[in-house]
Amino acid sequence: MREILRVQKLGKNHGGYHGETIDIRAVLRDIETAARKFGWAQEIFHEQAGFPWLAFHRAPRLAPKAPRLYLSAGIHGDEPAGPLAALRLLQENRWPENAEIFLLPCQNPAGFTLNQRGNAAGLDLNRDYRQPQAAETRAHIAWLERQPPFDLYLCLHEDWESHGFYLYEQNPDDKPSLAETLVAAVKKVCPIDLSESIEGRAAQGGIVRPNISPPERPDWPEAFYLITRKARQGYTLEAPSDFPLATRVNALVAAVRAALDFAG
Ligand SMILES: [Zn+2]
């Protein structure tokens, strides 16, 4: 624990993300290699500018009524911890036997080559889910429409301004919350943002429960599409990108593992 408390903000992020970048083509190759090694079904549901949009599926081993989990990462090209966390999870290959997993490891590869939030045209794909303009978003929604409903979604993100990890919860049916469990798991490897206001919304203990309903908002993030059409519970995980990249990957992996433990 003492070790963890020494993790400090780097102070690099002024006006945006200025930390480490990744070679997304190499990361995607490693992701495909790990997925193949461990028997995931792979689908390329979109191709653009020489990049594949990958979706991986892992069928449950045992239970016919296994919970379905959806994980996505890399929709913002200046948030490298998400695709790296997806890679780590695939390489470590510790998944619950009785869960069905859908994993999209990188939804904005071109953005990573530019280290920018938006796609190659500068469009924020994570505001494009109500009336989609980008080909990437339309392809993603078409893919989502072919999938069964999910019991839980996890969207992996980073926030260049935050003082630690935090998450957004969407839980309109008041199901048992995973929020505290996920934060407790992350706290062992990464500081938590304990601000009372994060991104203009009330927060408590690193948890934001936004009381905004999707119909009231014109520019839907992926999570709003998911909660409206595909799932009734989900979490947007925000690693603090002014901390070392390894800490942020650890944070996202810890949160996903805690959710998998809960589901499996
Ligand atoms: Zn993001």
Judged against a pLDDT cut of 60, whether residue 2 lies above it is answered with no
Q: What is the mean pLDDT of residues 50-75?
A: 91
Backbone φ and ψ for 198, nearest 5 degrees, come out as -125, 125
Q: Which neighbouring-strand residues pair with 103?
A: 56, 71
pLDDT band at 6; cut points 50, 70, 90: low
**Alpha carbon of 58 to ligand 1 centroid (Å):** 25
**Alpha carbon of 263 to ligand 1 centroid (Å):** 24
The Cα 95–Cα 40 span in angstroms is 12
Sheet architecture: strand order including 68-73: 41-48, 51-58, 100-104, 68-73, 152-159, 234-240, 166-170, 207-208, 201-204, 197-198
Judged against a pLDDT cut of 60, whether residue 5 lies above it is answered with no
**Alpha carbon of 127 to ligand 1 centroid (Å):** 10
- Per-residue b/e over 57-92, b at no fewer than 16 CB within 10 Å? ebebeeeeebbbbbbbbbbbbbbbbbbbbbbbbbee
**Alpha carbon of 64 to ligand 1 centroid (Å):** 34
Which residues have beta carbons under 5 A from ligand 1 (an ion)? Answer: 76, 79, 157
**Alpha carbon of 62 to ligand 1 centroid (Å):** 34
Burial class from Cβ neighbours inside 10 Å (0-12, 13-18, 19+) for residue 173 reads: exposed
**Alpha carbon of 85 to ligand 1 centroid (Å):** 14
Q: Tokens in use for 121?
A: 């045209």
**Alpha carbon of 77 to ligand 1 centroid (Å):** 8
Residues listed for the chain: 264
**Alpha carbon of 65 to ligand 1 centroid (Å):** 32
Q: Tell me the per-residue pLDDT of 164-219, one tens digit each, with 9 for 90 and over.
A: 999 999 999 999 999 999 999 999 999 999 999 999 899 999 999 987 788 888 89
Backbone φ and ψ for 232, nearest 5 degrees, come out as -115, 10
Judged against a pLDDT cut of 50, whether residue 1 lies above it is answered with no
**Alpha carbon of 61 to ligand 1 centroid (Å):** 32
Backbone φ and ψ for 247, nearest 5 degrees, come out as -65, -40
Q: Tokens in use for 188?
A: 């062992």
Instruction: Give the global pTM.
Output: 0.95
Q: Tell me the per-residue pLDDT of 75-133, one tens digit each, with 9 for 90 and over.
A: 999 999 999 999 999 999 999 988 999 999 999 999 999 999 999 999 999 999 999 99
**Alpha carbon of 155 to ligand 1 centroid (Å):** 9
**Alpha carbon of 117 to ligand 1 centroid (Å):** 7
Q: What is the mean pLDDT of residues 220-225?
A: 97
Backbone φ/ψ region at 74: left (φ over 0), alpha (ψ -120 to 50), beta: left
How many angstroms from the chain centroid is the CA of residue 21?
Answer: 17
- Per-residue b/e over 142-155, b at no fewer than 16 CB within 10 Å? ebbeeeeebbbbbb
**Alpha carbon of 154 to ligand 1 centroid (Å):** 12
Orientation angle between helical segments 81-92 and 245-263, nearest 10 degrees:
50
Residue that the structure tokens 């957004």 belong to: 168
What pLDDT score does 130 carry?
95
**Alpha carbon of 16 to ligand 1 centroid (Å):** 12
**Alpha carbon of 75 to ligand 1 centroid (Å):** 7
Q: Tell me the per-residue pLDDT of 7-60, one tens digit each, with 9 for 90 and over.
A: 778 888 788 888 889 999 999 999 999 999 999 999 999 999 999 999 999 988
**Alpha carbon of 76 to ligand 1 centroid (Å):** 5
Q: Tell me the per-residue pLDDT of 145-159, one tens digit each, with 9 for 90 and over.
A: 999 999 999 999 999
**Alpha carbon of 157 to ligand 1 centroid (Å):** 4
How many angstroms from the chain centroid is the CA of residue 161?
Answer: 17
The radius of gyration computed from the CA coordinates of the chain, to the nearest angstrom, equals: 17
Q: What is the mean pLDDT of residues 231-259?
A: 97
